[in-house]
Structure 1
Amino acid sequence: LKYHVINDALSINQVANSDKLLTLLSKNSIDVSFGGGMVMADGCHVVLSNIRASNGVIHVIDCVLLP
């Protein structure tokens, strides 16, 4: 689960402007790409974004991230 979490509350625009995001899983990172109007994280499409939570921001993806 730590591979799905970063130590920052980023909007989808901030995510889209990143190349890599450092996860909470011992210095592993997620590759981020943007194309065709879609943000992708390690090949998974972001299908719902900017869901505010009390401790951060949730972005829903369409597959499971594996380190």
Structure 2
Amino acid sequence: MEKKVTVKLQNIVQKHDLSLREMSRLTDIPRPTLSKLMNQKMQYIHLPHILRIADVFGVDDIREIIDLEKINT
């Protein structure tokens, strides 16, 4: 069974009532990068970005930001 990594930035944006632009300003991560992460368009995840998001938003469990999901084939 295949698996994929899912980035759950939409949850953080909604929880904190933020725009992507505001999230970019707070995290110092370029807006296009956040957009690609949010839309599952990235081929890789830059760990320092995930750590910065966790730090800015007080996330203690990385599963609030990324998760591993099974793909039904």
Report the TM range for the smaller structure's normalisation.
under 0.3
Tell me which protein shows more strand as a share of its residues: 1
**Greater RCO structure (CA 8 Å; 6+ sep):** 2
TM-score of the superposition, structure 2-length normalised? 0.25
Tell me which protein shows more helix as a share of its residues: 2
